[in-house]
Every structure is written in C-alpha cells, then in structure tokens.
C-alpha cells in the first residue's frame, strides 16, 4: 500500500506539472517613456515666468492612474536630455553641487525603472552627469558610451526586467555625434561608438545571455539619419530598428518630433517606433500582450500610442513633495542682476540686424577681445522685457551651456561660413512676392502654421564686419563683405580672431566644417582661447558688473534688394508669428 501511495503521489505531481506547463498564459504589460524633458519638472516656465502644459508634475498624475491599473507590470523609462533647459536643473548642476541632484530625486520619486543618457546631459560635464547618475536608484544606460581606459561601456549597456514570467531587455544608446557639438573637456576619457555597430554587438549578447521575450531599444536619437563630420551617424534610430533584427520596440528621442508608427526590419518583422517629442507634453506608451506556455513564448502583440498630458491635472502629491526645491529655484531665478533699457526679442533676428543677437555679439567681443563675432538666435521665440534683468532672463538670452571660443579664421573661410548660414536661412527670391525666409507649412493642434525649414540655432550672423546678403543669389554668391566695422579693409586671405560658442567651434551645425571648409582634425589648432565656464555665466557676470544695459542693433549687415526684402519680411513675420 505504501508503494501504491507513493506512486499515486508521483503521478499527481507529474499531472499537475504537465498541466501547468501546458497551460497558456496571457500577460499584459505597460511600458511608458518620457524624453527630452529639459528640466521641465514643474508646471512653470522659470524663464518666461508663466505656467506651462506638460512637465513631470502632470506626468505623475498620469502614472498614478496607470499604476492603479497595472501595478508592477508598468515599466517606466526616461530617454535623455533631462539635465539642461530650465533653471531647475542648472541650479543643481552648477550652484548647489552638494545636495542630491533634483534630476535624480524626481526620477526616484516617480519610480523610473531606467534612464538613458542624452547629448545635453553630457553637455553638463562629467562632474555633473556622473553625480546625477550616482544619485539615481535605477540603472542609467548607455551601451555606446565607452570608457577608453577599459574599452567597456561607461554606463550599463542594458537592463533586464521580469514581470509575471515575461522577460524584457532594454538596450540604451545615445547619438554618437557628441564630439561634433561638445568640447572634449566635458566628456574627457569617453568615446561614442556607432549605434548600429553597437546594437549588433549587444543584441547578440542579450540574446545569448538573457534570452528575453521582448527587446526594447531606448535610443536618444531621432529618425532622419544623416552623417555629420563624415564620421558620426546622427539620428539613426530607424536605421538600427530596420537593420538590426531583434527589436520589438524602439523608443526614440533627441529630435523633439512626435512619432508613432511601425516599420518592418530586414527579416520582415514588425518594429514599433515611438517618440513623445519634448517637455513632457506627451508620453509614449506601449501595451505588450505576451502569450506563453510554460517558459515558451507563443506570441506577443505590441501596440503603441502617444498620450497627451493636457487631459491630466498637476499632481498635488508631486508638487508637495518638491515644494522646498521649487521655492529654492524660484528664489534663484528671481535674483536681479541689472536692468535693460528696452525689450528685445529673437523675432527681429530673422529679418535683419537685431538688438537681441547684437547684444550677444557685443558681449562676446568684449569678453574675448576678438575682432569679429558669430552668433545665432538660440531660442526660436525668446524675449527679455524692458526693466529689471533677473537670473531667469539669462536663460532666455542664452539657452545652452556653451563655452566661448576665440578662433583663428581666414577671411574666405568666414565668408563661406556665412554663405552656408544664410543659405540655410533665406529663400532664393525670384520675384518680390516670394518668401524671404526658407519656411515649411505644418499642422499643429489642428491648424496650419509656418516654421523654419532648418534650425534657427544655426542661423549665424556676424558682427565686426560690414556686409550685405543678396537673397536673389544662390549659396556662394549671397554674401559680400566690404570692410571691418572699424573701417579696415576686409581681405579674404587675412586671418582674423573670431568669437563663437563652443558648439559652433567644435563643428556643430557644420557651418565651420562644411561651410568654412575646415576638417574636424583642424578645428582644435584654430582655437586660440576657450573659457572654463559656460557663456551664460560670463554674460551674467558682465551684466552684474555694468548693471545697466542699452542694447541696440549694430546695422552692420542687411538683406538686399531692399525693395523686395522689406515687404517680404513683413509677410513672413505675419506667417511666423501671427502678428
């Protein structure tokens, strides 16, 4: 009888085991991505002094609702460019360097499962982004950010999560074009490898070592690939999704463009692409339905969408949690540093000389001692109002944490750089009724609007020289330089000292490489001086020292023929700004 009892018990155990392994289970998992938040933690713009849509404060409300439904089957990922933008991050990057970084505190509170690194995070410098990463209570990813001393990824290459028997691997990568944009002192000792090459390597590792049911790419890169500096493949997310089999989802960022679609990879498998643009106005969400029989994957259904945060209120719990930090930042940006005699705006900069950009020109030349200055309107539509200037206004005056370079450029190199700049910026007019600017029409919130065809932060003008821009001519024939502003004849064979930001001096926008014709290897030898702190710091210091600023347009250049361009400028201004 004892033998029979044991046999029956073994039979029952075997039956239960077979039943369990043959049972088909369906597991639902929600994946949420944020990207390019740029310091918009709170529902307020500290530069424009006004409430804003989006922000982590609203995303937190959305997450509370999602977690009530999915519990621990919700995975939350941040896709880079968190540490630059609003004064919220600047303060914790460079002013309070001892506290836990607010950018980490917020992510920890919101229970992020992983974060990727973006180019503007690298822009803050190693001391800042290493401190932030060490304060994060979750993996910080960057498979193609290589520590040159070890030849291994500086951050974690990927992370693996298991939810109800479903195994999910997430591979993080960054656009490798960092050396084109940022001075090497910010990323000393690191290398940025090609995304597709890195993805092939790590996909093989992940498949062999982890054997996941689902693979997600978390890429701080956009979707319209181009080669920068003849080396770096920028915005290669879609190329990787298509060319490297194995990804079920690729979560994109960097280019601030909303996207939700599927593509077929080289093996004919479907890959979901999502990009929530920027500033927390949208999140990308993925609904995974995974069907397994025991440990065997039977099927998976991948759906995705972009969710607007306009339907969500600001989270009181979030605001209460960070009320002290918000108060500190508010006090910081409210500090008065001087006053300005008139309101200035970047809007004027697209149609001719402007007080806004010429103020930057004048400060760059005074700080550097250069003969000539190059600068662009870094914000599409920014202004500083007449009256007191605060710390917050400085983020409108100068958006990015660029250093100031003084470089040695030959006259013809400077001319060719300006030729490329104005070719990006202006239409080649064939009649008085044509557009002055290169514009594109796009749909926005159910309406049509006009925006620039190219990025306005690459629209360099010059100060210190007298020149015209003939918009009836093609690139190479638009710009005529007559003399230096002090009356000295301009000579294309002479070398001049030229002030510019580090982004431009490193090859950003390709104006100094493709435009001026300098090789990437040649740029370093042309740098005469470089500041150790960002340009905004020196601009702030200058204004505090002088107290009263009287900006004016230098009127050292103009568009011609004037009888065409003046009327075209009025029309395009109306189209761009509805005024």
DSSP-assigned states of every residue in 271-327: EEEEEE-STTSEEEEEEEEEEEETTEEEEEEEEEEEEEGGGSPPPHHHHHHTHHHHH
Model pLDDT, residue 422: 98
* CA 348 from centre of chain: 25
Distance CA 426, CA 429 (A): 9
Higher pLDDT, 165 or 449: 165
pLDDT recorded at residue 22: 57
pLDDT tens by residue, 494-540: 999 999 999 999 999 999 999 999 998 899 999 999 998 888 888 89
Percent of the chain residues topping a pLDDT of 70: 96
pLDDT of 400: 87
Give the pLDDT of residue 327: 96
Confidence bin at 579 (pLDDT 50/70/90): low
Torsion of CA 117, 119, 120, 126, to 10 degrees: 70
Q: Give Cα 275 to chain centroid, integer Å.
A: 12
| pLDDT for residue 10 | 47
Report pLDDT for 230.
83
Least-confidence region, from 18-27, 349-358, 462-471, 490-499: 18-27
pLDDT of residue 445: 64
Q: Is the pLDDT of residue 313 over 50?
A: yes
Q: What is the pLDDT of residue 16?
A: 44
Confidence grade of residue 122 (pLDDT, cut at 50, 70, 90): very high
Domains and CATH numbers, the chain: 24-329 (3.60.21.10), 336-577 (3.90.780.10)
| 333-368: pLDDT as tens digits | 999 999 999 999 999 999 999 999 999 999 999 999
Note the pLDDT of residue 11: 47
Which residues have CB under 8 Å from 258's CB, separation 6+?
Answer: 275, 276, 277, 282, 306
Say which residue the tokens 């020109």 belong to. Answer: 361
**pLDDT > 90: what percent of the chain?**
87
pTM attached to this predicted model: 0.88
pLDDT of residue 521: 87
The stretches of 445-517 forming alpha helices (DSSP H) are: 502-505
Provide the pLDDT for residue 154.
98
2-16, 281-295, 315-329, 532-546: segment of lowest average pLDDT = 2-16
Q: What is the mean pLDDT of residues 178-201?
A: 95
Q: How far apart are CA 440 and CA 438, in angstroms?
A: 7
Please state the rounded mean pLDDT for residues 10-18.
46
- What pLDDT, on a 0 to 100 scale, did the predictor assign at position 15? 43
CB 388 within 8 A of CB 407: no
**Residue 443, pLDDT score:** 73
| Residue 518: burial class (beta carbons within 10 Å; 0-12, 13-18, 19+) | buried
Distance CA 479, CA 251 (A): 42
pLDDT recorded at residue 446:
66
Tell me what pLDDT residue 385 has. 92
Identify the residue with better confidence: 502 or 442: 502
**Nearest partner of 39 among 117, 92, 110, judged by Cα:** 92
The pLDDT of residue 118 is above 90: yes
pLDDT score at 307 = 97
More confident residue, 295 or 220: 220
How far is residue 520's CA from residue 512's CA, in Å, rounded to a whole number? 9
């Amino acid at each position: 009888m004892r033998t029979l009892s044991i046999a029956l018990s073994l039979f029952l155990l075997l039956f239960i085991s077979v039943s369990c392994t043959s049972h088909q289970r369906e597991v639902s998992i929600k994946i949420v991505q944020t990207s390019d938040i740029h310091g918009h933690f709170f529902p307020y713009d500290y530069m424009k002094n006004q409430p804003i849509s989006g922000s982590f404060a609203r995303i937190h409300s959305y997450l509370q609702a999602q977690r009530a439904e999915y519990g621990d089957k919700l995975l939350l990922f941040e896709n880079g460019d968190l540490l630059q933008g609003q004064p919220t991050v600047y303060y914790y990057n460079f002013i309070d360097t001892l506290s836990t970084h607010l950018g980490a505190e917020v992510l920890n509170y919101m229970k992020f499962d992983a974060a990727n690194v973006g180019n503007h995070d690298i822009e803050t410098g190693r001391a800042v982004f290493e401190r932030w990463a060490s304060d994060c209570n979750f993996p910080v990813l960057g498979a193609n950010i290589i520590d040159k001393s070890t030849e291994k990824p500086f951050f974690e290459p990927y992370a693996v999560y298991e939810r109800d028997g479903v195994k999910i691997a997430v591979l993080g990568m960054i656009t490798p074009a960092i050396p084109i944009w940022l001075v090497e002192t910010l990323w000393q000792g690191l290398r940025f490898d090609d995304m597709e090459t890195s993805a092939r390597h790590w996909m093989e590792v992940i498949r062999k070592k982890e054997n996941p049911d689902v693979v997600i790419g978390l890429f701080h890169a956009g979707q319209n690939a181009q080669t920068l500096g003849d080396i770096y493949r920028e915005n290669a997310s879609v190329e990787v999704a298509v060319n490297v089999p194995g990804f079920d989802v690729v979560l994109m960022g960097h280019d601030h463009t909303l996207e939700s679609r599927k593509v077929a990879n080289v093996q004919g498998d479907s890959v979901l692409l999502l990009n929530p643009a920027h500033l927390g106005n949208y999140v990308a969400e993925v609904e995974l339905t995974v069907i397994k029989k025991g440990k065997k994957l039977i099927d998976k259904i991948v759906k995705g969408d972009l969710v607007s945060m306009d339907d969500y209120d600001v989270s009181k719990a979030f605001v209460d949690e960070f009320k002290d930090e918000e108060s500190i930042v508010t006090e910081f940006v409210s500090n008065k540093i001087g006053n300005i005699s008139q309101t200035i705006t970047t809007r004027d900069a697209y149609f001719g000389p402007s007080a806004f950009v010429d103020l930057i020109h004048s400060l760059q030349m005074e700080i550097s001692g250069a003969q000539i200055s190059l600068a662009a309107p870094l914000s599409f539509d920014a202004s500083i109002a007449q009256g007191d200037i605060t710390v917050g206004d400085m983020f409108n005056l100068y958006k990015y944490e660029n250093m100031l370079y003084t470089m040695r450029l030959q006259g013809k190199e400077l001319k060719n750089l300006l030729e490329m700049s104005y070719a990006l910026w202006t239409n080649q007019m064939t009649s008085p009724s044509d557009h002055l600017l290169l514009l594109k029409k796009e749909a926005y919130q159910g309406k049509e609007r006009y925006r620039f065809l190219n990025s306005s932060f690459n629209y360099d003008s010059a100060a210190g020289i007298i020149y015209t821009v003939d918009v009836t001519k093609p690139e190479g024939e638009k710009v005529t330089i007559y003399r230096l502003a002090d009356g000295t004849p301009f000579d294309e064979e002479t070398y001049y000292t030229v002030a510019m930001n580090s982004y431009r001096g490193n090859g950003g926008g390709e104006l100094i490489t493709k435009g001026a014709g300098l090789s990437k290897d040649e740029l370093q030898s042309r740098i005469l001086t470089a500041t150790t702190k960002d340009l905004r710091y020196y601009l702030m210091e200058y204004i505090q020292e002088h107290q009263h600023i009287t900006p004016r347009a230098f009127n050292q250049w103009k568009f011609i023929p004037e009888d065409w361009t003046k009327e075209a400028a009025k029309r395009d201004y109306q189209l761009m700004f509805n005024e």
